[in-house]
Structures are given as structure tokens and as C-alpha cells.
Amino acid sequence: MLGIIGGTGLTKLANLKIKRRQIVRTPYGEPSGPLTYGDICGYEVIFLPRHGHGHTIPPHIVNYRANIWALHAEGVRDIVSVASVGGIHPRLDPGVIALPDQIIDYTHGRKNTYYDGGDLPVKHIDFTMPYSDRLRNLCLEAATNISESIIDGGVYACVQGPRLETAAEINRLERDGATMVGMTGMPEAALARELDMHYAAICPVANHAAGRGSSAKGIQYDNMGDVLNKTMQRVRNLIERVVVGHAC
């Protein structure tokens, strides 16, 4: 089954016909909210808003372990995540949709593994390629089928949040090879890998990163919200086609 994790700007899926909502208990506490069961174009999916239905959970407080565990417990084996980002690379202007193929983790203090000295033996995962090639290709094919432009590839820098970055920090991330910056990509991707789940991220660009383009002298929140709202409609259309392709 396909699971969809929504981030900032995607607390609900307008094209999801809801069948039921279910609270799932996990050994790691409460997920961000009840899992929403529904269908898109007649195909069943499970949706979970990462920040809660009222967008009240900041990125450093999200219970990533509970979220991924709950989806796995309900039969999800493939996850498509939606995670808004700031664009570092010149091609990543606000309104662009990117599909990263690499990630760098700058977070700290997050519960980032299921194998932390409890009852489970230590498991070392291969994280060379953090995103599923199969799901990435599915997203790329979906974009082609609806004539949606999407940037194939990129390096997602996952920072702690909830504050945005300084211009100097963005310069550092760029020197490290990052092309976009967000706050929720880790440990989500690694936890999915630990449970042998396939995972890919669709990343709409909400703004230029600090010190870049229109954010050279500061990030304009009003503009960011307007851009993200418009881009999310395109993301919903893309997800719809991904769901159809996943079922076929």
C-alpha cells in the first residue's frame, strides 16, 4: 500500500476521498495524528500530516519514529513524502518542484533509529542511496504524464529548525554540495529504510534560501505562503498521477 506524508502546505489532500480515520498506537508514542484512509482515483492510500492536522508540531518535535512505525504497521511499504524546501541552487526558484536523490543530515537530538539499545539488535542500514529509485522513477513518470516540470535530482540539506537559516549557513550548505534546504527529511528517510520501506520525497520550493535571489535581504513570509499554495495544487495533481501509476 502507498502512504503519503504531507508537510507544510499539505495538511490535507483535496483529491482524497476519505473513508475513515484511525488512531494507531506505537511502541514509540503517538504519531502526528490519526491515519487517514481514503482513495484517490479509486485507489486506496493512507495519508498522514507530518505536523498534525492544525500544523502545530514543529519539525524538531515531530515523532518521526511513531509516524513511520504506524504506517508500516498498517501495511504501507511505499512512502511518498511531500516536504517544502528553500532553494539554494539557482535552478530552484520558488514554485519549482524537485525530486532529490541525496540528503545530508545536519539535525541533532532527534530520535533517529529504532535500534537504540533496546530489545532489538543493532541494525546497520546501507544508506548510500537514501531515496528509492523505483519510487523516484514513478514520480518522474507521473510528472511526464501530466506535463509537469520537475527537477530530477538534488541534495537535500536537513537542518534542525524551526528557525530559518542565516545567509552564512546557506553558504556552508552550498559548499557541502546541498542544492535545497528543509527541516523534515531526516530521520524520516532513514527510519523508513530501517523498516525496509521504499521512500521518496517530492519537494516544492517555497522560497529562495537565505541570502539567495529574492531572499538576499530576508525571507518574505507573505510571498512564501502565496507561492506554496499555488505550487501545492500542482503537487496534488502530481500525487494523483503517482497513485494511479503505483496501482498499475
Q: Which residues are annotated as a binding site for substrate?
A: 183, 207-209
CA distance 200 to 211: 28
DSSP letter at 215 equals G
Q: What residue numbers does the annotated binding site cover?
A: 8, 50-51, 183-184, 207-209
Q: What residue numbers does the annotated binding site for phosphate cover?
A: 8, 50-51, 184
* CB contact burial 24-37 (16+ within 10 A = b; e otherwise): bebebeebbbbbbb
CA 223 vs CA 126, 218, 226: distances in Å: 39, 12, 5
CB 84 within 8 Å of CB 206? yes
Torsion sign, CA atoms 40, 42, 45, 46: positive
CB 99 within 8 Å of CB 141? no
CA distance 25 to 97: 34
